[in-house]
């Protein structure tokens, strides 16, 4: 009950009211016949005007065969690393799949992938011939306001994907499909996810902008103007001064940036003025993306940041440079390659591409990156974990760090492989899933430790008390020693203070020394647990020997735990991790761990 109340207090009164309204609406939509919802929302349907003059520089006709009742068409879809066979015509409310898997089917992102391939090859794939049939099947089998199909988030993604299909293949834009697209836009406008905010609300607004400029009716003009004003307000609120997104997730940052780039490209195609505030925000977010890009096309994995949760970071950087007119997007493919001809009427010579710094401090995001040479990259989370009222994607990872060599993880947290409410999700969000130190003051009744979470994550998208960073310092000494020091108040409820200091020094091009200094002061006896997660390609026995040397003179118990490394949804690469557990009497203590690492740490 306590953690639930803290969560409600942090969410705030206004968002709670928004959420209550949102849930009441869902109940109303569920019990109200679709024919009545149609009359309530779409009374102006006869005045729809689809702008037939808008187009992209790719026009390929598509005349698909029809489905036959006794001869169903089989498609294979792979989402979340799970491949399934789907028969069309299809029951879109099939409950045998997980909610997120079903959402992915409703997104129609897979249709966008088919379109991208068609653009690159100038020919449709065999499955693509049935896109029109699948769209009609969706319209026929998803009643207005019912189920996942009419979830505001799924509508946001689906409407964009339909628009690109219709603009690249005009004969797909039948009256039935255009009407459905317009209905979804109206529904989304009336059901924006203000109760969630964050990336969900930005998805809603960017889709409304792209969708509304496809029409010339009065409703669409109103939606465009209001959505543009709302977007400005939300970007001012959600984009931090250092360019990061407030949810502190690299994956969602890239996803949002990609949406904004499509908005600008769409405005230019429709010959609308592009507001300077929009390109300024994009420029800020682009620079942030450049700063956090890690070798091998990776990015920091703090909070929920699956690698497949967004397009490749190099693609988004390239797309940004094209839209911002820094340089032409030569490496872009698919739909983004069509936008390049619209974006590059001239080049912006005043915007400079920043070089990657050896020391990057993203103060508002709360991340610090060290790149002592071209091989080694280190990043630590030392800052606000998430907005107090938006904990959906936060992890208990304060003062956790990851280390990479040549784009390969040497020390790396579990990552994110699931959004389902299960043990996997709980573990991946917990402190135990990260490279942190935890404390516990007592055993529970069943003889298990009660490890304190600085961020009290619970459920699959909730968090109660969130610790604060009360000291944050970093820098470079003598141009060779990289250091960061942080203190959070996550253990104050048991009168324990905690400080972590990390020092890095390059010994030669391929060798690095990492020193982790933990300072703990307690008024009562406590147990402590230091957690190390080596990368999946690291030689575990070699890594363990390096860590073990630091505990030869201490009464410490070491545990080898079977864990995993997750870079994508549904993907868990097995590995082993190390937990070192000890006990302190009242007093002040220092744990000093020295790791001498080289490229030979990896398995042959």
Does residue 333 carry a pLDDT above 80?
A: yes
Q: What's the token pair of residue 555?
A: 């009464």
DSSP of 410-478: EE---B----SSSHHHHHHHSGGGSS-EEEESSB-TTS-B-PPPSEEEETTTEEEEE--EEEEEEEEET
Rounded to whole angstroms, how far apart are CA atoms 433 and 414? Answer: 5
Least confident of 175-184, 336-345, 383-392: 336-345
Taking a C-beta distance cutoff of 8 angstroms, is the pair 418, 570 a contact?
yes
Strand order through the sheet with 437-440: 437-440, 526-532, 573-584, 557-565
- 155-169, 212-226, 348-362, 422-436: segment of lowest average pLDDT: 348-362
Q: Which residues pair with 26 in a beta bridge?
A: none
Can you give the pLDDT at residue 57?
A: 64
With vertex at residue 573, the alpha carbon angle to CA 567 and CA 578, rounded to the nearest 5 degrees, is 100
DSSP of 537-559, one letter per residue?
Answer: TB-HHHHHHHHHGGGTTS--EEE
DSSP code of residue 519: E
Bond prior to 89 in cis (omega within 30° of 0): yes
Q: What are the residue ranges spanned by the domains of the chain? A: 32-215, 239-261+270-355, 359-601
Mean pLDDT of 226-255: 97
- Predicted confidence at residue 517, as pLDDT, reads 97
Give the separation between CA 74 and CA 263, rounded to whole angstroms: 34
User: Rounded to the nearest 5°, which phi and psi values hold at 466?
Assistant: -125, 120
pLDDT at 164: 93
Separation between Cα atoms, residue 355 and residue 324, nearest integer Å: 17
pLDDT, one tens digit per residue, over 345-356 is 655 545 555 567
User: Residue 533 and residue 566: Cα distance in Å, rounded?
Assistant: 12
Residue 443's pLDDT band, with cuts at 50, 70 and 90, is low
Q: What is the rounded distance in angstroms from the CA atom of residue 160 to the CA atom of residue 335?
A: 12
CA–CA dist 62, 59 (Å, integer):
10
pTM of the full predicted structure? 0.94
pLDDT at res. 342: 63
Both structure tokens of 582: 């000890």
Statement: residue 446 has pLDDT above 80: no
Given this model, what pLDDT does residue 71 score?
A: 62
Mean pLDDT of 502-510: 92
How confident is the model over 412-434, as pLDDT tens digits?
999 999 999 999 999 999 999 99
- Polymer length in residues for the chain: 604
Domain 359-601 has CATH 3.30.1330.60: no
What pLDDT, on a 0 to 100 scale, did the predictor assign at position 62? 60
pLDDT at 254 over 80: yes
Mean pLDDT of 581-602: 94
pLDDT tens digits, residue range 81-139?
A: 888 888 887 888 887 788 888 999 999 999 999 999 888 887 777 778 888 889 999 99
């Amino acid at each position: 009950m306590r953690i639930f109340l803290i969560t409600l207090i942090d969410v705030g009164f206004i968002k709670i009211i928004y959420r209550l309204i949102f849930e009441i609406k869902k109940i109303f939509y569920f019990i109200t016949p679709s024919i009545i919802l149609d009359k309530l929302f779409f009374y102006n349907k006869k005045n729809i005007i689809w702008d037939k003059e808008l187009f992209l520089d790719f026009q390929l006709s598509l005349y698909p065969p029809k489905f036959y009742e006794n001869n169903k068409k089989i498609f294979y879809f792979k989402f979340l690393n799970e491949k399934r066979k789907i028969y069309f015509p299809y029951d879109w409310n099939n409950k045998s799949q997980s909610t997120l898997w079903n959402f992915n089917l409703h997104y129609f992102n897979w249709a966008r992938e088919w379109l991208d391939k068609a653009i690159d090859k100038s020919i449709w794939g065999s499955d693509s011939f049935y896109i029109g049939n699948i769209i009609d099947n969706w319209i026929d089998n998803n009643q207005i306001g019912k189920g996942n199909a009419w979830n505001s988030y799924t509508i946001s993604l689906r409407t964009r994907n339909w628009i690109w299909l219709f603009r690249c293949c005009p004969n797909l834009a039948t009256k039935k499909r255009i009407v459905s697209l317009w209905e979804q836009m109206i529904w989304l406008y009336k059901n924006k996810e203000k109760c969630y905010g964050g990336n969900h609300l930005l998805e809603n607004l960017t889709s409304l902008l792209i969708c509304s400029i496809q029409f010339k009716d009065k409703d669409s003009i109103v939606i465009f103007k209001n959505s543009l004003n709302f977007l400005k307000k939300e970007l001012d609120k959600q984009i931090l001064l250092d360019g990061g997104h407030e949810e502190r997730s690299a994956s969602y940052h890239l996803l949002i940036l990609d949406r904004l780039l499509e908005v600008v490209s769409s405005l230019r195609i429709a010959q609308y003025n592009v507001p300077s505030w929009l390109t300024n925000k994009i420029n800020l977010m682009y620079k942030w993306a450049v700063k956090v890009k890690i070798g091998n096309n990776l990015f920091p994995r703090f909070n929920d940041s699956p690698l497949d949760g967004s397009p490749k970071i190099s693609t988004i950087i390239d797309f940004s440079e094209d839209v911002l007119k820094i340089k032409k997007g030569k490496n872009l493919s698919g739909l983004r390659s069509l936008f390049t001809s619209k974006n590059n009427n001239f080049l912006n010579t005043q915007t400079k591409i920043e070089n990657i710094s050896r020391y990057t401090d993203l103060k508002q995001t709360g991340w610090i990156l060290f790149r002592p040479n071209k091989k080694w990259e280190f990043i630590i989370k030392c800052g606000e974990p998430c907005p107090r009222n938006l904990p959906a994607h936060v992890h208990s990872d304060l003062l956790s760090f990851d280390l990479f060599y040549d784009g390969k993880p040497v020390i790396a947290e579990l990552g994110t492989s699931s959004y389902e409410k299960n043990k996997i999700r709980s573990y991946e969000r917990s402190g135990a899933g990260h490279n942190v130190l935890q404390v516990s003051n007592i055993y529970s009744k069943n003889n298990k430790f009660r490890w304190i979470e600085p961020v009290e994550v619970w459920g699959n998208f909730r968090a109660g008390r969130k610790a604060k960073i009360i000291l944050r310092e970093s820098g470079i000494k003598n141009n060779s020693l990289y250091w960061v020091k942080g203190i959070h108040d996550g253990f104050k409820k048991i009168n324990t203070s905690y400080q972590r200091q990390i020092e890095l020094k390059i010994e030669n091009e391929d060798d690095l020394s990492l020193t982790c200094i933990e300072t703990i002061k307690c008024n009562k006896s406590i147990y402590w647990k230091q957690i190390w997660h080596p990368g999946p390609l690291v030689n575990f026995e070699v890594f363990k020997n390096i860590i073990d040397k630091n505990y030869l003179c201490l009464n410490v118990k070491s545990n080898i735990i079977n864990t995993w490394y997750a870079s994508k949804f549904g993907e868990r690469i097995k590995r082993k991790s190390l937990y070192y557990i000890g006990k302190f009497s009242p007093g002040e203590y220092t744990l000093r761990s020295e790791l001498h690492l080289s490229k030979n740490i990896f398995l042959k």
